[in-house]
């Protein structure tokens, strides 16, 4: 099911950054994401799933050629995120956001989130 969701090539610009430790998940993000790298992706929220076992942000991202890529941003469980300030209405469709996190090892356009910056400049982290 997961792989079927990730059908778009990852061609967004990667910016290498250092990362804090984010809230890990029950399925072991370590095996899916390259925890040694960090990328930043800007885009428009199309959906926000505040669900267990993981929370998801679906993002439309314009690449260098102007085409829209569908990105999936994966976070931990709502219970853990709520402890660091996240709420079920932290995001809504249409929000312009900047996300930073670990890229998928297989190169698909998905990210394990460590930090988000909202359009108004507010930051939300996933670090405890």
Partner 1 sequence: MRNRLIFLAGALVAVLALSSALRAQDAARPGSMPDISGVWLVEKFNPILFPNGGAPLQPWAEKKLKATNPQTNDPNLACLPEGVPRFMISVPYPMEIIQGPTRVFIIHEGTSVLRQIHMGRQHPKDLDPTYAGDSVGKWEGDTLIVDTIGFNDKTWLDGGGIPHTEALHVVERIRRTDHDTLVDEFTIDDRMAYTKPITARQVYKLKPDWEIHEYVCEENNKYTYQKK
78 binds partner 1 per the rule CB under 8 A: yes
From the list 77, 84, 117, 118, which residue makes contact with partner 1 (rule: CB under 8 A)?
A: 77
Report whether 126 contacts 75 (CB < 8 A): yes
Report whether 78 contacts 84 (CB < 8 A): no
Question: Which of these, 68, 49, 63, 56, lies nearest to 113 by C-alpha position?
Answer: 56
84 binds partner 1 per the rule CB under 8 A: no
From the list 62, 83, 87, 88, which residue makes contact with partner 1 (rule: CB under 8 A)?
A: 83
* H helical segments located in the chain: 2-5, 78-82
Q: Which of residues 16-75 bind partner 1 (CB under 8 A)?
A: 23-28, 30-32, 49, 51-54, 56
The binding site for partner 1 (CB under 8 A) comprises 1-3, 5, 23-28, 30-32, 49, 51-54, 56, 77-80, 82-83, 128
């Amino acid at each position: 099911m997961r792989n079927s969701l990730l059908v778009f090539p990852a061609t967004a610009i990667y910016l290498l950054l250092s990362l804090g430790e984010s809230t890990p998940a029950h399925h072991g993000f370590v095996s899916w994401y390259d925890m040694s790298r960090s990328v930043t992706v800007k885009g428009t929220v199309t959906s926000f799933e505040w669900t267990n076992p993981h929370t998801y942000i679906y993002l439309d991202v314009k690449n260098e050629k102007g085409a829209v890529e569908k990105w999936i941003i994966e976070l931990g469980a709502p219970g853990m995120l709520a402890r660091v300030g996240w709420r079920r209405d932290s995001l809504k469709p249409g929000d312009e956001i900047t996300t930073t996190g670990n890229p998928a090892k297989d190169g698909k356009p998905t990210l394990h989130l460590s930090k988000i910056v909202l359009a108004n400049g507010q930051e939300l982290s996933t670090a405890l």
